[in-house]
């Protein structure tokens, strides 16, 4: 599995509230990694859409963008959106559970995943849009978008500690 699994330790009754938490460095590392995914994804906004594209110079398609962003952080990703949709941990499709860096999957049929994007926080995601002809940042709450109606799932590649669950999906 390519997921980076980081978990926070539970504080026992004998531990002081002021004592350093043993896994706080891991939790901070997971936050920093998710922030890096967001920064790298947003840096590609405006790049042109090219079917099969996998680089800023030649352009991106949706899975090429995800692969490029994640490869810069040493995550090995398969080529297609449907293959990428099988990686990491499946997360409930609810905006309250999203974290920056999560992969959002889309498809027109129940079985097929045909599009993928990167959640960047505050209800927004970055994706290579064939309709717009470029990499864009979109609002997940848009009701008029056919992609939003076809939102199929969430895959978490960067796993963080229990403290992350209280962050409400934003960094």
Q: Which of 4, 31, 97, 127 is catalytic?
A: 127
Asked about 115 being catalytic, the answer comes back as yes
Asked about 62 being catalytic, the answer comes back as yes
| Burial profile 92-123: b = 16 or more Cβ within 10 angstroms, e = fewer | eeeeeebbbbbbbbbbeeeeebbbbbbbbbee
Asked about 127 being catalytic, the answer comes back as yes
Q: Let me know: does 97 contact 105? Beta carbons within 8 Å.
A: no
Q: Which of 4, 31, 97, 115 is catalytic?
A: 115
User: How far is residue 166's CA from residue 127's CA, in Å, rounded to a whole number?
Assistant: 26
Active site residues: 62, 115, 127
């Amino acid at each position: 599995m390519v997921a980076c699994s980081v978990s926070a330790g539970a504080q026992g009754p004998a531990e002081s509230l002021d004592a350093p938490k043993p896994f706080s460095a891991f939790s901070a590392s997971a936050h920093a990694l998710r922030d890096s995914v967001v920064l790298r994804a947003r840096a590609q906004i405006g790049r042109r859409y090219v079917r099969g594209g996998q680089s800023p110079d030649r352009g991106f398609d949706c899975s090429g963008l995800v692969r490029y962003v994640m490869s810069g952080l040493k995550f090995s990703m398969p080529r297609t959106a449907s293959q990428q949709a099988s990686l990491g941990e499946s997360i409930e499709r609810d905006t309250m559970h999203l974290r920056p860096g999560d992969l959002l999957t889309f498809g027109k049929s129940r079985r097929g995943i045909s599009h993928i994007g990167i959640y960047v926080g505050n209800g927004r995601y970055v994706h290579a849009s064939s309709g717009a002809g470029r990499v864009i940042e979109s609002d997940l709450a848009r009701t008029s978008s056919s992609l939003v109606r076809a939102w199929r799932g969430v895959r978490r590649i960067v796993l963080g500690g229990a403290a992350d669950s209280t962050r409400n999906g934003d960094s």
